Structure 1
């Protein structure tokens, strides 16, 4: 009986593997398949991001925190655009024309910016950076902020 169940399980797995993609032409154009063909998101420490901002003034900084956090005690990076992660489907469509531009995403630590970066990657953005440690670490290092 056990041998029969093992054999049946193996056949089931093989069948799933063999026929799993049939009839799914949309899957080739899905955000997930597009993300597989797009470079991975870079997660960089604040020191490297600060250097990028000093040397590449064309980089776009997107702060994905809430308005309260953006205006709060941690402040924000000068020139950063506030685009809350809760609204990312709306604002991502607005910046689709900038898919090849360097986009630096920052939040409080790295959770929301990482999520936003992966979403933008799935839309075909190719030069994405999520800031490790976010604004907490940016402040800890003493880098300039606007409040």
Structure 2
């Protein structure tokens, strides 16, 4: 599935769509600034798959600081059978720049 831009995600949040957004940054990064996503740090993702199993066939939007960690999370989740994973391009850096 194609990745998602900051502009598209912001429009969808503003429209109050029900979204499954997961933040794979570390807790201290999340505490500094977040957009209301569920925090599952990348290193914990393999051990916490049961928390997101119900979204296996739903759109998942994954983000981090720049898009690198969330890109790795996307690859991992796709290998686990998740079918609609989207990485937020540019991550929180791009979000704050917009």
| TM-score > 0.5 by shorter chain | yes
RMSD over aligned Cα atoms:
1.4
Higher RCO by CA contacts (8 Å cutoff, separation 6 or greater): 2
- Deviations along 1:68-117, one digit per CA (max 9) or x if unpaired, are 10012xx0112x10000011101223211211121110000000001001
TM-score w.r.t. the length of structure 1 is: 0.62
Is the partner of 2:88 in helix, strand or coil?
A: strand
In structure 1, runs of 5+ residues without a counterpart are 1-40, 142-147
Alignment match, 1:62: 22
Give aligned pairs, total. Answer: 98
Gaps of at least 5 residues in structure 2 are none
Secondary structure of the equivalent of 1:132? Answer: coil
CA distance in structure 2 between the partners assigned to 1:126 and 1:46 by the alignment: 21
Q: Give 1:23's aligned residue.
A: none
Output the CA distance in 2 between the equivalents of 1:117 and 1:71. Answer: 22
1:124 to 81, 94, 98: 81
